[in-house]
Amino acid sequence: MSNSPVTPRSLLVPGLALALAGSLALTATQASAQDSGKREAAAPPARQQAGGLAKQATATGYGGAVSSVDPTATRVGLKVLKQGGNAVDAAVATAAALGVTEPYSAGIGGGGYFVYYNAKKQKVSTIDGRETAPAAMKGDAFIDKATGKPYNFTPELVTSGVSVGVPGTLATWDRAMRKWGTLDLAGAMKPARKVARKGFRVDDTFRSQTLDNKVRFDAFTSTRELYLPGGDAPAVDSVFKNKALARTYAIIARKGIKAFYNGKLSGEIVKAVTAPPKTSTTKLPVPVGSMTRADLKNYKAIPQKPSKVGYRGYDVYGMAPSSSGGSTVGEALNILEQYDVGSMSDADALHRYLEASALAFADRGKYLGDPRFVDVPLDNLLSDTFAKERACSIDPAKALTKPVAAGDVAAYDGVCTPAAAQNGAVDTDTENISTTNLTVTDKDGNVVEYTLTIEQTGGSGIVVPHRGFLLNNELTDFSTVYVAADPNRIQPGKRPRSSMSPTIILKDRKPFLALGSPGGSTIITTVLQMIFNRIDRDMTVQEAIAAPRATQRNTANVTAEPAFITAYDALLKPLGHKLVPAGDAFTSAAEIGAATAIEFGRKGKVTAVAEPVRRGGGAAGVVSKRRR
């Protein structure tokens, strides 16, 4: 691709200044003061979590940084950095803490994707820690044998043992720590054990997510006991303790991950999947799974090469399949690079952003799956020539009729020809929005971008009895009905297609920006739009994250946040884009994503940023506000 950066043009966002107002730097010193119940007298007001912990969206400084959705987890990561740990140590410590404070989004019962930049080697590496289907899982596993029809997705399939994949999170942590960390896994998990044992303050988000899942959680004795004591969710500002999880973390600290994958815990996980601890009062059917101890014993977190594209002089690294994130973000960027979007009007630039995303999603649906089972034409999908030919489809004056057809990776030459009939198939999307993301860097310039999940808000709803963690329902990311030509069809041992898109962007082999987000398939468009905002539209990284979002995933309508509709509907409607409000089926929240990012400046200065508002706002912090 071209190495000549396009002259950017500022994209004005209504209400952006208000959304960013009050963002403060959370330093390690402030975090320590807050942990002991103190408040700095000179600090201006900030968003508060119950218990007085400030959620501060922007932090600028030196010596390392952490950004996550949760102030307790961010504080844990900062403490590890301050005590001399590196980015990998702090990332695993932060993730383990999120397993305590954000248990409905992530935890050791799930999986994810880990992207690491080694500053000394100037190299990006990744770990695929995605969950796998059990060896005995059949292609018709999501078909109700009594009716011959697919289970209803909600609530039957999502609340089940059959939707539970073999967890990959612990294997990911262990591989990352052994290869790149300076602590051992027990040392990295120690702060989270303390949080689980002593408890954390419940905020509005934790309580509301619990209540949103009340029917599902009430279906299992173990889950009801932990999260619905006395029949109600924990009260806001109460202290929630998870001593069972603290004990589980302690077992893993003593015995290593073999206790989870090949010990007593593995048998307890299998029992929870194959004979879920149902309550006598639930009316949910809870289909059972087929996982065995051998599935856990045989699980491996896989090291693999990242995806890579060049974009306007930057190198963009992401997750290769089994994730579709790196390829789809990369292809869309390659298509966008055919245009000087930085010099365009808002309407023309956003039109091309939406159309590039739709085209890339069409190719995602046809070609992307687990490469150990599917021949994924990754090099073709990320080819500049292929992108040039795909860009030929975009009409500058009119939106394409959706769904658009996938491109032909077997025959392309970059030459524009008359557009083919648009008869593409809709990429059925069952990937849930509830995931979490964290971004970490250390004093040496190493970087971790990590997205982890248990899929649904609350995963499968099944807490492993006496162990304090929820199991995932990631296998719902497979296509419900088995079709032989579908690259995302169910197969034993296969990883379901994911949209997780942890991304690290380099400039001259050094970090420029690391970013990622939760949000199901909207993860791809959230990461894409933030890169577009930052590089092409002259926004700061804070503005790029706060800006209102829209997602076009090869569907008839564009799903958008209300602020985006207010700002741009009148500009985009004449081009044929129909904007409809975003909404989560469980919470009706009209939000897309909950990103974290770190941008790298001169002489070691970093800017860590989390969401200022979405999902209650995130928490960014730096080790020191001043260069040492």
CA distance 154 to 122: 45
**pLDDT tens digit sequence for 496-518:** 999 999 999 999 999 999 999 99
> 425: pLDDT confidence band, cut at 50, 70 and 90?
low
CA distance 411 to 329: 22
Domain boundary assignment for the chain: 16-36+52-302+430-490+499-624
- pLDDT confidence of residue 153: 87
- pLDDT confidence of residue 156: 85
Which value, in Å, is the radius of gyration of the alpha carbons in the chain?
Answer: 23
User: Is the model more confident about 37 or about 205?
Assistant: 205
- pLDDT confidence of residue 429: 55
Which has the closest alpha carbon to 604: 587, 620, 624?
624
Question: Is residue 120 left, alpha or beta, with left meaning phi > 0 and alpha meaning psi from -120 to 50?
Answer: alpha
Residue 417 clears pLDDT 50, i.e. is over it:
yes
| 388, containing H or E segment | helix 384-391
CA atoms within 13 A on the CB side of 437: 31
- pLDDT confidence of residue 268: 98
Residue 16 clears pLDDT 80, i.e. is over it:
no
Q: Beta strand pairing status for 550-551 and 510-516?
A: unpaired
User: Which residues are within 8 A (CB) of 73 and not within 5 positions of it... i.e. 6 or more apart?
Assistant: 94, 95, 97, 98, 101, 102, 438, 619
- pLDDT confidence of residue 422: 55
Which has the closest alpha carbon to 571: 357, 332, 333, 354?
354
Question: Is residue 230 left, alpha or beta, with left meaning phi > 0 and alpha meaning psi from -120 to 50?
Answer: left
Mean pLDDT of the chain: 89
Mean pLDDT of all residues in 111-137? 98
Mean pLDDT of all residues in 425-430? 54
CB 32 within 8 A of CB 71: no
Mean pLDDT of all residues in 118-138? 98
Could you tell me the pTM of the whole model? 0.91
Mean pLDDT of all residues in 346-355? 98
**What is the DSSP track for 291-305?**
--HHHHHT---EEEP
* Active-site position among 72, 94, 328, 435: 435
Helix-helix angle 87-101:185-198, to 10 degrees: 30
- pLDDT confidence of residue 146: 87
CA distances from 186 to 88, 179, 476 (A): 14, 15, 32
Q: Does the annotation count 328 as an active-site position?
A: no
- pLDDT confidence of residue 89: 98
> pLDDT above 90 covers what percent of the chain?
82
Residue 42 clears pLDDT 90, i.e. is over it:
no
Q: 55-59, 427-431, 455-459: lowest mean pLDDT where?
A: 427-431
- pLDDT confidence of residue 428: 54
Mean pLDDT of all residues in 234-242? 97
Residue 11 clears pLDDT 60, i.e. is over it:
no
At CA 120, angle to CA 118 and CA 124, rounded to 5?
Answer: 25
> pLDDT above 70 covers what percent of the chain?
88
CB 61 within 8 A of CB 27: yes
Mean pLDDT of all residues in 264-281? 97
At CA 610, angle to CA 450 and CA 354, rounded to 5?
Answer: 80
CA distance 379 to 301: 23
Burial state string for 90-107 with b = 16 or more CB within 10 A and e = fewer than 16: bbbbbbbbbbbbbbbbbb
CATH H superfamily, domain 16-36+52-302+430-490+499-624: Gamma-glutamyltranspeptidase, small (S) subunit (3.60.20.40)
> 423: pLDDT confidence band, cut at 50, 70 and 90?
low
> 1: pLDDT confidence band, cut at 50, 70 and 90?
very low
CB 618 within 8 A of CB 67: yes
> 454: pLDDT confidence band, cut at 50, 70 and 90?
very high
